[in-house]
Structure 1
Amino acid sequence: MKKIDFFGIFRHITLILLALMFLLPFIWMMLTSFKPEDEIFINEIRLVPERFAAYENYSTAFSETPLLRFMMNGVIVTVAIFLSQIAIAVPASYALAKLEFKGKQVVFIAILACLMIPPQAVSIPWYLLMYKFGWLNSYEGLIAPFSISVFGIFLMRQFFNSVPDDLISAARLDGLSEFSIIWRIMVPTAIPALIAFGIFSIVAHWNDYFWPLIVANSQDIYTPPLGVVAFKSDEAGDSYGPLMAAATVIVAPLIIAYLCAQKRFIEGITMSGMK
């Protein structure tokens, strides 16, 4: 008779409960987007609404504000930030992992120190710099401060450390330059790590509210988090139905992207910690 794995059962039950706990806010937000205004404020917990108002809420979310424009701005900003971060992080991390030069450890320690600095601490210098460049209320002002990611350099450096040195030596014997080695050998090898970093980067900047609130003054360049605030009114009150509908539309692409890339994401995170 096969033994019952009580520890395995307990582990799965614990993981399921934790997953439900983390999913509950999103589930509640989505269900609220289906409810009419009078059912949102009732004094009881009602998961399924008596009258579905999904069409009204979602149509209001798209008609009251240019939600598609906000989402397009979010795509432009997050993709531009990610591509610029990769263009800088990959060569920098390759140099830190596979090249020998004076001051290498000092540079790496400085990168680790930068990981401890919150972005809010340097927001005023960045704002003044964007003002000097004339980049306030522009895509450049939203993108430039985040074009370098010390976390991306650190993550890619850890992954490149796991790549055999013999592979790089063979490429050099074949006459490849260092940049050719980076883009033709290291980048294809590091696809899992790039996907893992991409999820971190895109989620962080898609959901960023602090910096766009400072830089953006026009709805033409509002990112999705700023667009959600448009449903908040001190005079007329908050339209929670359309607000939850807009929030659901904004969050859904991130969840879908993660579900599609979760295997590569986990693979990139685990392999980045290998020596």
Structure 2
Amino acid sequence: MDERRSWLADAPRLLLLAALGLLVLAPYVWMVSASLKPLDELFRASLALWPERFFAVENYGKVFARVPVFQYIWNGIVVCAGILAFQLLFAVPAGYALAKLRFPGRDIAFGAVMLGLLVPPHVPALPLYVGFSQLGMLNTYAALILPFTISVFAIFLFRQFFKALPDELIHAARLDGMSEAGIVWRVVLPNAWPAATAFAIFSVVAHWNDLFWPLIVVEGPSRATPALGVLFFRSDEAGDDFAALMAAAVIMTAPLVLAFLFAQRRFVEGIATTGLKG
């Protein structure tokens, strides 16, 4: 009886969450549906998710025949992995220092991090472009990776997570003779995998879908990221063939969906356990 009463009490909340989930998923579901239809079915007055004629082979075949899909995906993997590796390399020690070490100016440094969260990425775009242009580094992986190697959001996230770690764990490691660097990488980071996984998903999704910066520094398909590759396909190959364009978008976003499904438990755990303590 108590279980039934509990289920009835939770039913409104579950229905609301289900409705919001469907609302968020609706554009992606429509995109997948459109990629399976012939072009003439996309512009009918009636909206039907299930196609009358399956056109998946033709739509996806156009994408693989006209676009270097695997080149775009590989570029996205290289860029996102490079950015994430550098972000973790800098953010984990910085977050640990702000959370567990006492040094002059710590509060000022943390205030600078908070101010950095307010700066849009578009603000430094022009000076960064000029600098890379003068160094001859446009249309390279370095130009795509280097501007994002330090993430103030990552520093803030890890600082909040490390604040919740018990100080006794740090003291025990110091008594064992570990250096601060050893504590960071051998003690603190293994306990921070939920936060690292949550941040990794945020970072990869943001930079996989980023169009603004690649559109500035990349010319041609050789270093194009997935989002830019879809734009090239829209401009040069697909034209007004929106069904094929939807197929290209599905292909480029599929790795993100698979990665999230693989890491969703860690992601939820990281969000739930990352405190917001001062």
The 1-side partners of 2:106 and 2:237 are apart by 57
DSSP-derived class of the 2:123 partner: helix
Cα deviation, residue 174, structure 1: 0.8
Q: Tell me: CA distance 1:274–1:115, structure 2 relative to 1, closer, same or farther (3 Å).
A: closer
Cα deviation, residue 133, structure 1: 2.5
- Residue 268 of structure 2 corresponds to which residue in structure 1? 266
Q: How much is the aligned-residue C-alpha RMSD, in angstroms? A: 1.6
The 2-side partners of 1:7 and 1:272 are apart by 28
Q: Assess if the C-alpha contact under 8 Å between 2:32 and 2:250 holds in 1.
A: yes
Letter in 2 for 1:25: P
Cα deviation, residue 244, structure 1: 0.5
The 1-side partners of 2:17 and 2:102 are apart by 44
- Residue 189 of structure 1 corresponds to which residue in structure 2? 191
| Equivalent residue for 2:133, pick from 127, 131, 142 | 131
| Equivalent residue for 2:151, pick from 144, 149, 152 | 149
The 2-side partners of 1:235 and 1:196 are apart by 36
Q: Assess if the C-alpha contact under 8 Å between 1:231 and 1:242 holds in 2.
A: no
DSSP-derived class of the 2:124 partner: helix
- Residue 97 of structure 2 corresponds to which residue in structure 1? 95
Cα deviation, residue 4, structure 1: 3.8
Unaligned runs of 5+ in 1: none
The 1-side partners of 2:62 and 2:110 are apart by 50
- Residue 207 of structure 1 corresponds to which residue in structure 2? 209
- Residue 63 of structure 2 corresponds to which residue in structure 1? 61
Letter in 1 for 2:29: I
Q: Tell me: CA distance 1:85–1:96, structure 2 relative to 1, closer, same or farther (3 Å).
A: same
Q: Assess if the C-alpha contact under 8 Å between 2:75 and 2:223 holds in 1.
A: yes
The 2-side partners of 1:166 and 1:33 are apart by 55
CA-to-aligned-CA distance 1:99-121 (integer Å, 9 cap, x gap)? 11111100100000000111011
Letter in 1 for 2:127: P
Cα deviation, residue 218, structure 1: 2.1
Q: Assess if the C-alpha contact under 8 Å between 1:34 and 1:53 holds in 2.
A: yes
Q: Assess if the C-alpha contact under 8 Å between 2:59 and 2:244 holds in 1.
A: yes
Cα deviation, residue 274, structure 1: 5.7
Unaligned runs of 5+ in 2: none
Q: Assess if the C-alpha contact under 8 Å between 2:39 and 2:243 holds in 1.
A: yes
Q: Tell me: CA distance 1:105–1:235, structure 2 relative to 1, closer, same or farther (3 Å).
A: closer
- Residue 118 of structure 1 corresponds to which residue in structure 2? 120
The 1-side partners of 2:64 and 2:200 are apart by 28
- Residue 163 of structure 2 corresponds to which residue in structure 1? 161
| Equivalent residue for 1:71, pick from 70, 73, 92 | 73
What TM-score does the superposition give when structure 2 sets the normalisation length? 0.95
Cα deviation, residue 42, structure 1: 1.8
Q: Tell me: CA distance 1:233–1:130, structure 2 relative to 1, closer, same or farther (3 Å).
A: closer
DSSP-derived class of the 1:121 partner: coil
Q: Assess if the C-alpha contact under 8 Å between 2:66 and 2:237 holds in 1.
A: no
What TM-score does the superposition give when structure 1 sets the normalisation length? 0.96
Q: Tell me: CA distance 1:236–1:199, structure 2 relative to 1, closer, same or farther (3 Å).
A: closer
Cα deviation, residue 63, structure 1: 1.1
Q: Tell me: CA distance 1:233–1:77, structure 2 relative to 1, closer, same or farther (3 Å).
A: closer
| Equivalent residue for 2:244, pick from 220, 242, 250 | 242
The 1-side partners of 2:171 and 2:154 are apart by 25
The 1-side partners of 2:162 and 2:221 are apart by 41
| Equivalent residue for 1:105, pick from 107, 121, 144 | 107
Cα deviation, residue 130, structure 1: 1.4
